[in-house]
């Protein structure tokens, strides 16, 4: 009887020890996945009334503190065939902006990218293609940013300082690759969601509470990844947006001017 009990105990220990490696491996995989996808939560502050300024080491930025009456107006996804209309509107209303452009669009509209910079605006990176990083492999993310930066170098002769991931979504590979390419990750403190509207009123209502010094505003001035008509809607609200900024004593500047060195 004792021998039988001893054999049973040995069997239980053997079964238990065989389960431990599997449990450990599962835990390691789960922990690695959590660490890899954890940066995706960085988009959440863009929905808050008062997002933080940045992560430690400026690993990701939403806004800045400044005594200067300035905000940064930013446009995503271009350039496109109608970007010249945006540039004309910005000139008319005395506004400066930063364009987070896609590398594929740079290749398609190289002269427009040069024109953006020539007219006093800033050209930043939005990656090469409009793909979600949470569904991309580290290798795909690395290739996307490499191709994007190369497009900037080929057309403008320099690496962009700022980078904004598509959909505002990051994973660990996004942060690593952006740093490797020498770019700073910048999201936004207030966005218009104009792609969901047909009139400028609701867009302005969303932006208005966030029009404070140091804010970073997000709009789309094209239909590259947005519903048809988004670009026209955005341009129609630039005049009232400029008026609101003026009433508050604020000026629209490039990200580089707002954030400094």
- 216-241 pLDDT, tens digit per residue, is 999 999 999 999 999 999 999 999 99
Is residue 53 domain-shared with residue 179, that is, in the same domain? yes
Contacts of residue 202, Cβ cutoff 8 Å, sequence gap at least 6: none
Is residue 89 domain-shared with residue 14, that is, in the same domain? no
Confidence of residue 132 (pLDDT cuts 50, 70, 90): confident
Is residue 12 domain-shared with residue 139, that is, in the same domain? no
CATH at residue 154: 3.20.20.370
Is residue 104 domain-shared with residue 228, that is, in the same domain? yes
Is residue 106 domain-shared with residue 31, that is, in the same domain? no
Q: Which among 187, 142, 178, 147 has a CA at the least distance from the CA of 41?
A: 187
pTM of the model: 0.86
Distance from first CA to last CA of the chain, Å, rounded? 79
Is residue 110 domain-shared with residue 126, that is, in the same domain? yes
For residue range 80-128, what is the model confidence (pLDDT) as tens digits? 999 999 999 999 999 999 999 999 999 999 999 999 999 999 999 999 9
User: ω into residue 79 within 30 of 0, thus cis?
Assistant: yes
Is residue 115 domain-shared with residue 141, that is, in the same domain? yes
Helix axes 83-92, 230-247, angle to 10 degrees: 20
Question: Number of structural domains, the chain?
Answer: 2
Is residue 29 domain-shared with residue 91, that is, in the same domain? no
Is residue 66 domain-shared with residue 9, that is, in the same domain? no
Query: What is the extent of the structural domain holding 6?
Result: 2-38
Is residue 15 domain-shared with residue 114, that is, in the same domain? no
Is residue 64 domain-shared with residue 96, that is, in the same domain? yes
For residue range 152-184, what is the model confidence (pLDDT) as tens digits? 999 999 999 999 999 998 888 999 999 999 999
The CA–CA distances, whole Å, from 155 to 9, 101, 120, 146, 180 equal 72, 12, 16, 14, 21
Is residue 53 domain-shared with residue 14, that is, in the same domain? no
């Amino acid at each position: 009887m004792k021998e039988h009990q001893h054999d049973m105990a040995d069997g239980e220990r053997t079964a238990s020890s065989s389960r431990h490696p599997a449990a450990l491996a599962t835990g390691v995989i789960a922990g690695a996945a959590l660490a890899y996808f954890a940066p995706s939560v960085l988009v959440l502050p863009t929905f808050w009334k008062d997002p933080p300024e940045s992560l430690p080491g400026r690993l990701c930025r939403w806004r800045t503190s400044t005594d200067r009456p300035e905000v940064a107006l930013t446009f995503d996804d271009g350039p496109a065939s109608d970007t010249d209309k945006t540039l004309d509107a910005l000139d008319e209303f005395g506004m400066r902006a930063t364009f987070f452009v896609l590398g594929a669009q740079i290749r398609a509209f190289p002269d427009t990218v040069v024109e953006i910079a020539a007219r006093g605006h800033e050209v930043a990176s939005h990656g090469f293609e409009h793909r979600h990083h949470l569904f991309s492999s580290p290798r795909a993310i690395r290739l996307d940013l490499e191709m994007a930066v190369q497009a900037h170098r080929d057309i403008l002769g320099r690496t962009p300082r700022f980078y904004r991931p598509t959909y505002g979504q990051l994973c660990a590979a996004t942060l690593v690759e952006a740093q490797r390419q020498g770019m700073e990750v910048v999201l936004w403190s207030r966005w218009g969601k104009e792609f969901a509207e047909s009139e400028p009123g609701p867009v302005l209502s969303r932006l208005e509470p966030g029009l404070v010094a140091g804010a970073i505003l997000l709009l789309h001035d094209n239909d590259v990844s947005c519903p048809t008509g988004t670009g026209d809607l955005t341009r129609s609200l630039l005049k009232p947006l400029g008026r609101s900024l003026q009433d508050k004593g604020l000026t629209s500047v490039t990200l580089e001017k707002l954030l400094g060195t």
